[in-house]
Structure 1
Amino acid sequence: MAVKLSRSQLPLLLQKLRPLFPDNIKICGELKCKLENRSQKLCGFDFLVDTWPNFSTVISRPDNTNNRLKFIDNHHSVLTQDREKLREILENSDVIKWTSPIVQFADVREDLYDVISEAADSHGFHAKLSFTYLAMFVDSEMASMPVPEGLVMRPLSEDHAEIVMNNVDYSGEGSVEYCKELIKHYQSLAMFDENNNLVAYTLETNHGVSGMARVMPNYRHKHIGLVLLSQFDKLLVEEGRRMGGWVNVENNSMRRLMRKLGCTEYPQKHIWIDCFKK
């Protein structure tokens, strides 16, 4: 039986999860979003554990409010050190929102796919693996590179949300509104040319990562990506955070770029699972 935690218990949960990096990234990001009151539209999640205060398994799921954005309305995440305990919890029809036509598990360890797939099947769903990622994070001081002459840097505006979501793996219904909310409540950084054309950009998400980085094709030979991400790391360090995030395993150019910046690539793969009603 899962235990739903109260808001007063969440700071201790966050503290206990910190050593479990990088498996903890998404759940910790959602916890911080809620505890920092970033945005009601981004942090409408419950947090459940198998036992409290000592636990082996944590699940985040949509809460019962209607405050959440459509794009994240079916998002779930799991973190466990006991596969059988996770299997037991997922069998409980009250834990996961199996009443929806689609249930999504975001950024979970690849080796948990079979457990989630079996649980989905038992509740009348078919599980499909959609994306596979590696965590890559800066773990030491990074020298920021100077901005090339003729370019300026400033945060993204909400007007850029559609451009951003047209260039990511996981855009869908409500994704533009989701991106606008990220831009309003989290850090972003973009480069513009002298004609105010967008050259490159990146931003933080409610999942606790930097992401959605892109350099426009005409500028990819000018080390713009290195400049952008080194400057973004400098910005985040000033606020007590570091730059890093999930990189698609097939995106070799981004993985090379992150390694050039001194990022550590963690070998444990994480996946995104979409479960569809049969």
Structure 2
Amino acid sequence: MKVLQKDEVMAAENVLLKDLPKSFEVYGFLSAYNRNKPSKRQFIVDTWPDFNVIICRPDPELALNWTKKITFYCKDEQILKKMLLEKDLFDWSDPFILGGYDHSHTPMLKEVSSSRQVSYKPTTTAHLLYLPDRSHLITPAFDSELESRISSLIPSNVDLVNQTWKFGGNEQGYNRIKFQVSNLPSCCITDDQGQPVSWILVYEYLAIGMLYTLPEHRQKGYAKAVVHTMAQRLLDQGYPVFCYIEVENTVSYKLFKNLGFIEHPTYRAQWIEFNM
């Protein structure tokens, strides 16, 4: 087992690049780290340089409440299981979320939680949608007046985003969104007073999300406009373009598919809460 150093993180990113889209979650964390985005993460592999498992965990010395998420990329589930059972990779007595992994690993994780004698609760299952390249992106029709109102979120907008985010509305959500707005790309459409009425952000692992339009401004094509603009900006800057859509969110699923996003046929991302 090895904690990767900075130059090794770059090499690991190049390895995971070859297995997109299944490696997107950890690849996004690696890519953000290698772009010098503020990071409170460590990357652990079973062996180096040829690894079968890479685990992304909060840095024990830097982690904040909202960063207590763990994820992994795995080519050999038995090696991962052995690491989780035999190594103290993180504090199993603390509440944490394990997320963004392929749901096929869920039975194994349930076994591990039983052996570790910790509570276990699956929460979210999501489609993984992504743009392989610019040629897949479909441009919706929107006029120059709307285009003139497209900008980026600023710190004074954080409270509004936090109050409308389904997992927000608290200090933890506020701090997380403040980090995203301050350090990562965002896109919004503003009203006549310059206040955002529709927006989308980028998570710390570079997936786009938190798409929202205020109810009184819906059915105007704003969501399509911000998703398309964000995708263009990310492509221009060399970022990966991907997102997770909860399986029950058929409206967002259709929107992203209509913009040219494609889906891995079998991959379903899963989130689990432990000790929560």
Same fold (TM over 0.5): yes
For the residue of structure 2 that corresponds to 1:131, the secondary structure is strand
Deviations 1:218-250 (A, max 9, x none): 232122211221122222222123543111111
Specify whether residues 173 and 75 from structure 1 end up closer, same or farther in structure 2 by C-alpha distance, changes over 3 A only: farther
* 1:156-175 alignment, distance < 5 Å: 156-171=153-168, 174-175=172-173
Unaligned runs of 5+ in 2: none
For the residue of structure 1 that corresponds to 2:161, the secondary structure is helix
Q: Is the 8 A contact 2:140 2:259 kept in 1?
A: no
Q: Give, in whole Å, the separation in 1 of the partners of 2:205 and 2:86.
A: 25
Per residue, is there more helix in 1 or in 2?
Answer: 2
The match for 1:75 among 69, 81, 84 is 69
The match for 1:51 among 36, 42, 47 is 47
* 1:1-278 alignment, distance < 5 Å: 2-39=1-38, 43-66=39-62, 68-72=63-67, 74-100=68-94, 102-139=95-132, 140-141=134-135, 142=137, 143=139, 145-147=141-143, 149=145, 152-171=149-168, 174-267=172-265, 268-276=267-275
Q: Give, in whole Å, the separation in 1 of the partners of 2:34 and 2:4.
A: 13
| AA aligned opposite 1:49 | V
Give the stretch that moved more between structures: 215-224 or 262-271. 215-224
**C-alpha root-mean-square deviation of aligned residues, in Å?**
2.0
Deviations 1:176-206 (A, max 9, x none): 1111111111111110111334220011121
Instruction: Tell me the CA shift for residue 27 of structure 1.
Output: 1.3
TM-score (norm 2): 0.90
Q: Is the 8 A contact 1:233 1:242 kept in 2?
A: no
Q: Give, in whole Å, the separation in 2 of the partners of 1:155 and 1:97.
A: 37
Specify whether residues 127 and 192 from structure 1 end up closer, same or farther in structure 2 by C-alpha distance, changes over 3 A only: same
Q: Give, in whole Å, the separation in 1 of the partners of 2:235 and 2:140.
A: 11
Specify whether residues 6 and 243 from structure 1 end up closer, same or farther in structure 2 by C-alpha distance, changes over 3 A only: closer
| AA aligned opposite 1:88 | K
Q: Is the 8 A contact 2:28 2:240 kept in 1?
A: no
For the residue of structure 2 that corresponds to 1:97, the secondary structure is coil
Deviations 1:153-182 (A, max 9, x none): 211112222322333343365121111111
Q: Give, in whole Å, the separation in 1 of the partners of 2:272 and 2:245.
A: 16
Specify whether residues 211 and 69 from structure 1 end up closer, same or farther in structure 2 by C-alpha distance, changes over 3 A only: same
TM-score (norm 1): 0.89
Deviations 1:77-115 (A, max 9, x none): 011111111111100241132141x12102111011121
| AA aligned opposite 2:120 | A
Q: Give, in whole Å, the separation in 2 of the partners of 1:38 and 1:239.
A: 14
Q: Is the 8 A contact 2:53 2:73 kept in 1?
A: yes
For the residue of structure 1 that corresponds to 2:86, the secondary structure is coil
Q: Give, in whole Å, the separation in 1 of the partners of 2:185 and 2:225.
A: 17
